[in-house]
Each structure stands twice: as C-alpha cells, then as structure tokens.
Amino acid sequence: IRLPFSLVNNNVTLDRLEVMPAFWWLHNMYALARNSRKFISRDTRLRKAQNIEFDALAPDTVEEIFTAMKLLEEWSGRADQLRKGLDTRNFTAHELADRGRILLENTTNGDAELAIPQGIIERSIRPVIILKPARAYHAYRDMVHHYAVREISGFLTANPGSTFSSMCRSLAGEREKKWMNAGGQLIPEKEMDRLRSEIASGELDSWKKIHDRYDELWERYPEAKCHHAYASLCKLYGTHELTPETWHEALTKAIAVQEYVCEQVYLSRKKDYDNPFRSMIYRNAEEMRSVMGDIGSNDFIKHVRRETADYTRLLLMHRQNLLTTKES
C-alpha cells in the first residue's frame, strides 16, 4: 500500500478493503508526533555506532508522500472520467493526474469515497476503496510543507549570516528522489551504489573503512536533507526556485500547520479521556485521573506547546528578516 500513514480496514460486512490515507496525521497526531521523541528517549545504547533517523517525516517518507499524491491524482481523474461515461483508456496517466489534481485541490467534499482499479493494492476482485481522498491529499501537502519549512528554517538557524538569496543559492538543485534505508540511516541511492562499487573494487577493504564511510555519509546527511527540503517546497509551489513572496507565504502557512499539529496532539489524546469504553473501567473520574493522569499535566502535550511557541517565534523572525531585507 503506497499511501503512507494509512489506516487499513478489512470490511468483511461489505466485502471490500478500505484504506484511509494520512490517517495518523488526521486522527492520531498524538501518537505520530510522540513516536519520534519516544524512540530517541528509548535509545539507550552505550555506544551509538549505528546512525538512525528517528523522525517520521524524513526524505524517504516525503518521497513516498509525493508518490501517494500522484496516485490519488490519477485515481481521482480516472474516477471522474468514468462518472462521465468516458473510456479512461483514451487518456494518459498524466492527463488523468492533471484532472484529478484539479478535483482534489478544489473539492469541498472531503469525505467522498474513491474506488480504485483492481490489482493495484491487493490481488483480488473485491472492491478497494480509498476513504476521504481529498482530505488525505491536503494532509499530505501539509506534511511535506511542515517537513520542508522545518528543515529550511533549521538551515537558516545554523547559518545565521544567510540571507534569503544566499539560502536559495546554497540549497538550489534537483530533488533527490531515491533514498535507501540502511538500517535506519537514510542514504541517497546513488551514494549507496557508490558504496557498493567501492566495496566490490576493494577500495573499501575492511569493516572499519566501510563504517567510516557510513559515518561520513551521516555527517553529510543534514545538508542533503536541507537540499531535499528546499526542492520539496519548490515542488509544492510548482517552481524551481523560491521567491521572497513564496517564502513569506510558506512561513505563514508553516505557522498555521504547526498550530494544527499542536491542537491535534491535544485533541487526539483527549479522545482517550472522553471515550466511554475507556472510562467505564473506572469507578469515577477521580480514579481515572489517578491512573491516567490529568491531560493538562501531560508532559508531551506541554512539550509540544512549548515547541510550538518557540518554533512560531523562529518563523516570525525569519519572516521579519525577509521583510527587512526587502525594504533595504
């Protein structure tokens, strides 16, 4: 199933497979956001020789999201042509995707179901249904946007002397689309091919040299991720290079997306307190609080709220610096 963060339901009653893309972003942000922090805190290795990317939104995941968006566009375009009684074989995949993109970007019905062709997700003749495809499509865009601006703002923080123009010059380039997951360490496919070639040729003729190369690639990974983030944001805005106006818009949207993350972390956790099937096992609300703790004192929720306030201030500073540069 090439739709990241999906909820998959085997609906026996209707004899169909149901897939809700971007479910965790839309309906369980608490679990999604907490995982990255949880994995880091539980990594108690005394010697961390293996390099691991813990963040759920990383270059490989973002590329999976771009693939998922393309699939949703093609499937939506195909469904639209079928509704009109047209033969979809008369249209290329690109033409179907163009039509689907318009529908997904402008739809007001985010809960419509989408039936997709047989043999794509599972080998069977039963229907396969995508639930809430438009909502998922917009969620995917927000996820990529969140990742991209976060990494670019990190670049600006790490390089305080950078201006908008110098940032664009430093990060411009083609997007690296193929990433290999080497035991948790993300490596561009071309770099992995080079590594294998050097092993085969004998240039890397010991485990130490191989591990040193892994460490070298890990040291270069933050920069590679920033380049990927910049290209990903350009992809979202349909351009090869950001303009000051586009970057201003991206920063403004990033603040809104982070506020959404913060709100959804709270609301998705609050569902555990409101769920009658959870509360029924306690004699009263006081006993439930003594076991589960008060939601207002939840450490992770407080952490996300502090993180949101700090991140918002950082983005507002970047936006003000952009305005100051333009005025001067």
Q: Give yes or no for a contact between 112 and 134, defined as CB atoms under 8 angstroms apart.
A: yes
Number of residues that make up the chain = 328
- Residues of the chain with pLDDT > 90, as a percent, come to 82
Q: Give the C-alpha separation, 224 to 192, whole Å.
A: 14
What are the pLDDT digits (tens) for 237-262?
A: 999 999 999 999 999 999 999 999 99
| Contact in structure between 133 and 114 (CB atoms under 8 Å) | yes
Asked if 100 and 94 touch (Cβ cutoff 8 Å), the reply is: no
Return the closest-CA partner of residue 158 out of 243, 226, 224: 226
The model's pLDDT over 3-36, given as tens digits with 9 standing for 90+, comes to: 999 999 999 999 999 999 999 999 999 999 998 8
pLDDT digits (tens, 9 = 90+) for 104-150: 998 866 678 999 988 999 999 999 999 999 999 999 999 999 999 99
Q: What is the pLDDT of residues 44-71, one digit of tens each?
A: 888 888 999 999 999 999 999 999 999 9
Distance CA 102, CA 37 (A): 37
Rounded CA separation 53/317 (Å): 28
Which residue type occupies 280? Answer: M
Confidence (pLDDT) at 322: 86
CA quadruple 22, 28, 33, 34: dihedral positive or negative?
negative
pLDDT at 203: 96
